[in-house]
Amino acid sequence: SVNPDLASERQTASFSVEKLTAWLDGGAEQTRMRRAVVAAIESDPVFSREDQYFQSQNERYEAAVRKAVHLQKKMHKMGWTEDGPENKYIYRALSGDVAFLLHRVFMRSISMLGSDKQIGKWIPLATHYQLIGSYAQTELGHGTYIQGLETTAVFDITTQEFILNTPKISAMKWWPGDMGRSATHTVVFAQLYVHGNCYGVHPFIVQIRSLRDHSLCPGITAGDIGPKMNFEHVDNGYLMLQNVRVPRENMLNKFCEVQPDGTYVRRGSQKINYFTMTSVRISVLSDEVIIPLMKACTIAIRYSVVRRQSKLKPGEQEAKILDCQTQQEKLLPQLAAAYAFHFINDYLQELFDNGYREIQRKNFDTLPELHAFSSGFKAMVTQYGTSAVEICLRACGGHGYSLLSGLPSLYTKMLASCIYEGENTILLLQTARFLIKCFMAASTGQPVPPSVTYLAAVKPGNCPAKTKLDFLSPDIYTEAYQHTAVRLISSTAAKLQDLIQSGVKKHDAWNQCTVQLAQAAKAHCHYITVKNFAETVEKLETKAGIQKIMKHLCDLFALHGIFSNAGAFLHDGYISGAQMDMVTASYLDLLAVIRPDAVPLVDAFDFTDKNLNSALGSYDGQIYQRLYEWAQKSPTNKQMSPAYERYLKPLLHNTLSKL
């Protein structure tokens, strides 16, 4: 039975939950398909995550491999294919708790960087799991700065082989998934040397384990890098190479080749490599950030209407904690952000698809914009999302801290997204570089990509809002975000120029501006996110009450951002102190307006209980019963600890003096 405190929340929804779900999915047909995939996965005990919070790293790894192998059978049985429409729901249904994700990156890198002959040889082997692949790029001493990799591949003309070596400990490959214990092959990125000349970093296919008995190949040292904050199910590994020889044909050679006589030939555009990273950064957002954030909101908001604490009014029952303004102010902005990011993801996906069409026509003009956008939004969304999940966790008090709430693992997993696929600060600075360049171009009248034309259109004047209600106008707040982004970009560009003109060297000047450059890039992404949210609401039909509640969430997201970054808006007086008071008033008013729809808004995300895997977040709100039942399953309750016989009993039965 549903806890009455939660049930009552569902009586008063101002909109149709089912219709909102369908809209978020992109149509009722998509919802149906998603639910079918989820049902098929969840009805299969192999995919259960019931014991996840009790398992060791070894157990998690074994379960993930088991699932990955079983998934092949399942897909076959269900008629699902790797590029079928169901595919995007499978990972969601598994909550990512599965092995061989790097095997896919192995295949993707061969498909993109390999010749037709190489593709013809390796892809069928990988598809049929006659090998297990990984992707060995990052080194112990080298991450985001790829040019600095130290692994070497020297061409031996006499044997027509490359000799791969790890010249020093910092050159050891470190972190690649699926490599610590599973992979038989990997793509190794190494500095290519021919006749003593270095040609930079290139990819090589290297076998690391025997296909017969899985023992390490000669010259290979490999293993698992040990415990991490999360990803216990993944065997992130290390790899050292000592005079490992691979045939000339194992260098992926679509774009460059070493010919038998040692001649190095480069062909085609290297820019396309950017595009792989772009695509990965965008694809990460939905599965690794937005869906987990939606889960965290679901758990924390459902919990907050069941949990009662303190009396708001004397003589009454203790209040649902979501009726406290402070709790609303913690959670509802995160809920609004989950929606905002869902919509910006659609926007980025469209930008990407359009760009991809151009690239297929050999037009690479959109690459810098796509690269800048994927970098900036990856940084902004992962950082914001990670903070948001942490807020959800803390808002559930002690119970949020229990692994059984599901929140700690959502948080620790999302935290990694701030680091992988490019460290966020470095990514923001790449976006900033693009913005500064466009700003310079725009101010001298040169053309810039459509998404940044706003940089040229700096309007004078201040915010025209006169009452707190004016701040519920998307024009008013979108304009404020735009003004602030332009101000931060232009003032940093000016500082940069001043420094250079005063004789500071270009790279020093850049370094002295990086704190502000990162701020400017964030302001740009925040602006685009708000603008896109407002436009999405604008386009919505006014049916089923959905537009109205989405408008409230859009307003909340926007005003929360102004409230939380007040300094950026007040700095040049665009928004005055009195206007900031109006922002605050409207912002706090919105919390109370959205509060009654909080549960329906998370119900619309449509997570099953199994998918949430949270003792606090289930649909029925039986939080205390579930916490108690789940705790029984903990290995800490399986038997009396040996600590009793060994330490406690001697302590209690003797006295201290006898010890």
Binding residues for FAD: 138, 177
Q: At 162, give phi and psi (nearest 5°).
A: -100, 140
Site stretch for a copy of itself (CB under 8 A), options 23-31, 249-257, 526-534, 644-652 = 644-652
Annotated binding site: 138, 177
373 and 451 in contact (C-beta within 8 Å)?
A: yes
Task: Name which position in 36, 157, 419, 469 contacts a copy of itself (CB under 8 A).
Answer: 419
Residue numbers 426-465 binding a copy of itself by CB under 8 A: 426, 429
> What DSSP state is assigned to residue 540?
S
Q: Which of residues 550-569 bind a copy of itself (CB under 8 A)?
A: 565-569
Determine which residue in the list 5, 33, 121, 223 makes contact with a copy of itself, applying CB under 8 A.
223
Q: Which of residues 230-289 bind a copy of itself (CB under 8 A)?
A: 235, 238
Q: Which of 2, 78, 540, 627 binds a copy of itself (CB under 8 A)?
A: 627
CB of 625 to a copy of itself, least distance (A): 6
Nearer Cβ to a copy of itself, position 200 or 650?
650
DSSP-assigned letters across all residues of 320-336: BGGGSHHHHHHHHHHHH
Minimum CB distance to a copy of itself smaller for 94 or for 415: 415
Residue with Cβ nearer a copy of itself (3 or 118): 3
Least Å from the CB of residue 339 to a copy of itself? 21
Q: List C-alpha distances in Å: 290 to 344, 389, 629.
A: 10, 10, 30
Residue 448: closest CA among 464, 459, 458, 437: 437
Supply the minimum distance, in Å, between the C-beta of residue 474 and a copy of itself. 22
Residue 421 annotated to the active site? yes
The interface with a copy of itself within residues 27-66 (CB under 8 A) comprises 53-54, 56-58, 61-62, 65-66
Identify which range of 123-131, 258-266, 347-355, 539-547 contacts a copy of itself by CB under 8 A.
123-131
* Under 8 Å between Cβ of 484 and 525: no
Strand 256-258, strand 264-266: pairing: antiparallel
Nearest to 93 by CA among 627, 623, 610: 610
Q: What is the CA radius of gyration of the chain?
A: 27
Binding to a copy of itself (CB under 8 A) within 368-397 occurs at 390, 393-394, 397
Q: Does residue 198 touch a copy of itself according to CB under 8 A?
A: no
> Does 224 help bind a copy of itself (rule: CB under 8 A)?
yes
Residue among 566, 568, 557, 563 at smallest CA distance from 534? 557
| Cβ-based nearer residue to a copy of itself, 456 or 627 | 627
Q: Work out which of 90, 285, 388, 404 binds a copy of itself, going by CB under 8 A.
A: 404
The DSSP secondary-structure symbol of 644 reads I
> What part of residues 151-180 is at the interface with a copy of itself (CB under 8 A)?
169-170, 172, 174-175, 180
Calpha distance 4→622 (Å, rounded) = 10
Query: Which of 142, 295, 378, 468 contacts a copy of itself by CB under 8 A?
Result: 142
- Nearest one of 270, 272, 274 to 430, comparing CA atoms: 274
Give the count of residues interacting with a copy of itself (CB under 8 A): 135
The stretch near a copy of itself (CB under 8 A) out of 131-139, 278-286, 290-298, 471-479 is 131-139
Rounded to a whole number of angstroms, the minimum distance from the CB of residue 150 to a copy of itself is 11
Q: Please pick, among 29, 421, 535, 538, the residue that the annotation labels catalytic.
A: 421
In the complex, minimum distance from the CB of residue 207 to a copy of itself, in angstroms, rounded to a whole number:
12
Assess contact for 224 and 236: CB atoms under 8 A: yes
Site for a copy of itself in 344-373 (CB under 8 A): none
Residue 309 interacts with a copy of itself (CB under 8 A)? yes
Considering only 79, 218, 227, 503, the residue that binds a copy of itself (CB under 8 A) is: 227
* CB-CB contact of 155 with 194 (8 Å): yes
Q: Which residues of 544-583 are buried (b: 16+ CB within 10 A; e: fewer)?
A: bbbbebbbbbbbbbbbbbbbebeebbbeeebbeeebbebb
H or E stretch covering 507:
helix 506-539
Task: Supply the DSSP string of 22-64, one letter for each residue.
Answer: HHHHTSHHHHHHHHHHHHHHHTSGGG--TTGGG--HHHHHHHH
Q: Toward a copy of itself, which CB reaches closer, 130 or 363?
A: 130
Q: DSSP 3-state assignment of 152?
A: strand
Q: Does 192 bind a copy of itself (CB under 8 A)?
A: no
* CA-wise closest residue to 203 among 214, 218, 190, 212: 190
By CB under 8 A, the residues from 67 to 96 that bind a copy of itself are 68-69, 72-73, 76
Give the one residue of 114, 408, 474, 621 binding a copy of itself; rule: CB under 8 A.
408
Dihedral in degrees, nearest 10, Cα atoms 464, 466, 472, 476: 0
Residues 478-507 that bind a copy of itself (CB under 8 A): 505, 507
Closer residue to a copy of itself, CB minimum distance, 54 or 364: 54
CB-based contacts of 417: which residues, under 8 Å, 6+ apart?
284, 288, 289, 382, 385, 386
Q: Which residues are catalytic?
A: 421
